[in-house]
Amino acid sequence: MTDPTLPDADERRREDRHRTRLRTGILRSRDGRLLADCIIRDRSTSGAKLFLAEQRPLPLELELEDEADHRRYDVRIIRRNGPEIGVVVEGEKPVPSA
């Protein structure tokens, strides 16, 4: 039996992850083309776990728009397991004005 107070050996995150309240997001190519809708399951300042509305091929480098806080981030896919993907945040982008 493992000690629940010890960190998980498989855990590779550098920061605590915070569960979100089913925040919706939009994945775009870095040049702004709409690629997929997603749900942001967990988020930290350096990464996120996303759930895709439908499985489709995606480039490794993307832009994630968090519709709840109206922010955009350059992200890179570091893990994929079916409709679930893990991304690392590479930087925040300004949101174009409407």
Low-confidence ranges of the chain (pLDDT < 70): 1-21, 97-98
Q: What is the CATH number of the domain that holds 34?
A: 2.40.10.220
pLDDT for the residue 25: 95
**How many domains are contained in the chain?**
1
Residues of the domain holding 33: 18-93
- Is 7 part of a structural domain of the chain? no
Domain contains 5? no
pTM recorded for the entire structure: 0.74
Q: DSSP letters of 37-61?
A: EEEEEEE-SSEEEEEESS-----SE
Residue 49 within a domain? yes
Contact 48, 89 (CB under 8 A): yes
